[in-house]
Structure 1
């Protein structure tokens, strides 16, 4: 396993389809591991491309303005519970509501359990139970829906939990958060550049060597102190939902900065 630190090289690898993601075991029978094998994140080639297109279709149904409004309202209501609770609960609940999950406010807890299992997989009764709970809450198939739409909706919740909560907490912990003259959007851009919420990702090189790609390292081709932002990835596997994620994060951080 080799660490790739420089952002220029990381971006090049992310954009090169010859570098693959480590694949989930498609033969597994454990529910949470089957979820990993049916999501877009842990497959390559045509299977990834088809699932990614469907994810983008589902995301196109979201209203970023409505997400921001809902996130602001939930943040005001939950603020007494503390920033950690707000960061974990609000983004997932807002997204779950727009994606049609029943009792959206109950989804963050099972999503958190599943998210802990998501990167590496492996036998987990807790993750299996969390997945079953989320699939049960997913909207029933409608006209034009596909077999794995519920799985892809759960994938969106899991990835929102992982990235958006960390982005919110990193922003609130940044020294500039205490300066009311710094707009929240500018604060988030600084955090995405200097302290990406997801620090690493993995790829398999054409020679089958595993690489750990660092999203927050130095950038040899950038002006001093201004490395490129690759927090959302690059190429065909870049994060499909930066718009909704930032709409929620801005609303939450705005609300918490005002407390």
Structure 2
């Protein structure tokens, strides 16, 4: 039994507003939930959702993960940047050099993302969301490769990347130095069990597998959008080897 990547989750002060921003930037369908949450649906059944959940934790430093959006031409890159600015994004300076071709922006909640220049070979054929680029060690890249059973598509100079066997967005880790965490991550992974694994025993077996790979159960107060740690109804809250929060949910 192997968990699947169900969603990339954002803790947001205004989930519905942030979801509308990303829906407009990505051109994807928006689904609003009954509890103030919202989600952007994947373009096909093999992709992941992007979920926006209520979270009031104050922002402390940069996020440990951000999206890299791809471009097919200079004009396409300019259109993406212009659309993001029109929807409420803004330019930010994270130390990028003038000669670098990517554009660094922040969404209305301050979450960083990049619009990559055309011709990036590493992100070729990944789709519009080329990568979720993460700060992290080589060890955590290996962990997620085993956890998701996604192959490593990059493993050089302490940098790693994984990609679904079906293709699509890559998840990358930049290697050391990794800045210490100063609070709960605002972006985190939500895994789901296979559709036929719907019992508590099934979930505990998968949690035990993830622990054997290097994960730990989260303590109370990890701040993954619920205000609680450990088990939260249908979700088990956990930490990967770098201390990043993630959750395992029942199917459905």
TM-score by length of structure 1 reads 0.25
Q: Whose strand fraction is larger, Structure 1's or Structure 2's?
A: 2
Q: Whose helix fraction is larger, Structure 1's or Structure 2's?
A: 1
Structure number with greater Rg is 1
TM-score by length of structure 2 reads 0.25
